[in-house]
Amino acid sequence: MKFEFDNKRPIYLQLFEILKNEIISGGFEPGQKLPSVRELSLMAQVNPNTLQKALGTLKQEGLIHTRRTSGKFITEDQKLIRTLRLEKARQMTEAYYLQMRSLGLSSQDIQEMLTLCEANHESAGMH
Amino acid sequence: MKFEFDNKRPIYLQLFEILKNEIISGGFEPGQKLPSVRELSLMAQVNPNTLQKALGTLKQEGLIHTRRTSGKFITEDQKLIRTLRLEKARQMTEAYYLQMRSLGLSSQDIQEMLTLCEANHESAGMH
Amino acid sequence: MKFEFDNKRPIYLQLFEILKNEIISGGFEPGQKLPSVRELSLMAQVNPNTLQKALGTLKQEGLIHTRRTSGKFITEDQKLIRTLRLEKARQMTEAYYLQMRSLGLSSQDIQEMLTLCEANHESAGMH
Amino acid sequence: MKFEFDNKRPIYLQLFEILKNEIISGGFEPGQKLPSVRELSLMAQVNPNTLQKALGTLKQEGLIHTRRTSGKFITEDQKLIRTLRLEKARQMTEAYYLQMRSLGLSSQDIQEMLTLCEANHESAGMH
DNA sequence: GTGGTCTAGACCACA
DNA sequence: GTGGTCTAGACCACA
């Protein structure tokens, strides 16, 4: 899990997205205990308040829950996790497709660029 | 050219992206005169200063230039336009690919989702 | 640091030059915190927006950077500072030399005028 | 005589400076007839009004005068020309010296940079 | 408190 | 009419 922020958007939002990604991509096990707020804020090098705000948003989406005195835990609802992962993938694909089209590329152009991109990464991975 | 803004990011940045997209996707002819700052700001329903900030960034990228009292003009450097279009498409593809992979999808999954997305849009276009 | 402006050129540009000069001539320590935008704008007796415009250009040149809610800081890149100082001195010398030559003065004339100028300032400094 | 303008300052002022330089550096003979406004404005690729404004300022400084129906002429006052040339050289030297000092360079540094600059130009001129 | 954004509105030089 | 500059002042997110 890498914590890299840009200045253009609120840090708590970026934190939220990083953590959400980690959860829905399976970087955390369902039901797993999260590191403490203090620990996480050290790892991310952000103010604990900022981290709390990100966790609050995760809680709203039902991805984590708090057990008083014992800490914060990833949801055990695997169906929710799968749904959110698919939904996010779908949204990203839709956005990607529309932006490429608005640049004037055809469906075929897009397929080709994507294939090229995959090829680059696979050959790079071989070393 | 549609001017629709979301609240998450600065308007001037969104303006810049909309205009940049319009230029590199060929929505303006190379060398063409832009509408005046006052006109454009009316079209986008923003303050002229906000628009100026966006135009300033476009000027820095070399996509437009100013003739002091006669207006702003799209660059005539068609090579620059083509380069920026390809570069943007490449970056978007790269970012899309990496994000999908970080969600745990395989190259094949990604190709399939993209194909599905294209199919949806094409069948929608048939009506 | 003196803030004195002439009417011929935009204030934000003059502000930029004054601040840049201050940084590359060592008037600020590398890494040092700048006065807040509000403070600086009071010192310079200009509107905060005008100052922001100048600071934006400094940021682009990499001479300052922003930590979101704690302020603006001079770059810690001492090499950049040295490079920019030398580069500016070189450019000023080049421009001075060419302008003097275009006035019809020989290299020797120029050396003499400069020596005279230095002599004046040194004797003035003795009082 | 090269007509190159930057966008930061009024064109008529830059024109004025170019023409003044040409006169005081001896590019025009004292008493010589100037090209017509129409011709000059074509050479400089500027609006005739802009050129007129520059000529007006030259007239105020006494560097040119108008003979009704026969055109504009360079002043015959050679003393004035010499005085202005020296004065301009002095001012440029003073400005150059002060700016270099404000960058933190010593008198000796300045002499060295100037010598280096001259050396570059002379060796370049040998080819 | 900190930087950042945005608007309304005035004014300027220039062609 | 054109771009450019500047101010006053409000408001926001964030730490």
| pLDDT tens, position by position, D21-53 | 889 988 888 999 998 888 888 888 888 888 888
C6-47 pLDDT per residue, tens: 888 899 999 999 999 999 999 999 999 999 999 999 999 999
Nearest Cα residue in chain C from A9: C68
Q: Classify D11 as helix, strand or coil.
A: helix
Mean pLDDT check: name the lowest of A29-33, B50-54, C119-123, D3-7: D3-7
Residues B118, C64: Cα–Cα separation, whole Å = 45
Looking at the complex, report in whole angstroms how far the Cα of residue D92 sits from the nearest Cα belonging to chain C.
7
Mean pLDDT of chain A: 88
* pLDDT band (50, 70, 90) for residue B125: low
> Chain E: nucleotides under 7 Å from a protein CB?
1-10, 13-15
Residues D116, D113: Cα–Cα separation, whole Å = 5
pLDDT at D8 over 70: yes
* pLDDT band (50, 70, 90) for residue B5: very high
pLDDT at A87 over 90: yes
D55-73 pLDDT per residue, tens: 988 998 889 998 877 889 9
With beta carbons less than 8 A apart as the criterion, state whether D92 and C99 touch. Answer: yes
pLDDT at B15 over 70: yes
Q: Which helix (H) or strand (E) holds B99?
A: helix B78-102
Q: Which residue is nearest to nucleotide F8 (CA to C1')?
A: C47
C44-83 pLDDT per residue, tens: 999 999 999 999 999 999 999 998 789 999 999 999 999 9
CA-nearest of A69, A65, A80, A1 to A31 is A65
Residue D45 tokens read as 């690729």
Q: How far is CA B79 from the centre of its chain?
A: 17
pLDDT of residue D126: 65
Which of B102, B116, B122 comes nearest A21 by C-beta? B102
What is the spatial distance, in angstroms and rounded to an integer, between the CA atom of B50 and the C1' atom of F4? 13
Answer with the residue of higher pLDDT: D1 or B66: B66
With beta carbons less than 8 A apart as the criterion, state whether C70 and C114 touch. Answer: no
Which of B8, B92, B107 comes nearest A118 by C-beta? B107
| CB within 8 Å: C113 and D103 | no
Looking at the complex, report in whole angstroms how far the Cα of residue B122 sits from the nearest Cα belonging to chain A.
10
With beta carbons less than 8 A apart as the criterion, state whether A18 and A1 touch. Answer: yes
* pLDDT band (50, 70, 90) for residue B127: low
- Give the mean model confidence (pLDDT) for residues C87-96: 96
Please list, in sequence order, all residues whose beta carbon lies within 8 angstroms of the beta carbon of residue B122, skipping any fewer than 6 positions away.
Answer: A107
Q: What is chain B's length? A: 127
Percent with pLDDT over 70 in chain B: 98
CB atoms within 10 A of CB D42: 13
- From residue D114, give the alpha-carbon distance in Å to each of C74, C117, D122: 30, 14, 12
pLDDT at B126 over 80: no
pLDDT of residue C50: 96
pLDDT of residue D60: 86
What is the spatial distance, in angstroms and rounded to an integer, between the CA atom of B12 and the C1' atom of E6? 10
- From residue A41, give the alpha-carbon distance in Å to each of A17, A20, A48: 15, 16, 5
Residue C7, CB, less than 7 Å from strand F?
no
pLDDT at A127 over 70: no
Q: Where would I find the H helices in chain C?
A: 11-24, 37-44, 48-60, 78-102, 107-125
B82-121 pLDDT per residue, tens: 999 999 999 999 999 999 998 889 999 999 999 999 999 9
A16-57 pLDDT per residue, tens: 988 998 899 888 889 999 988 888 888 888 888 888 888 988
Residue C113 tokens read as 């005028």
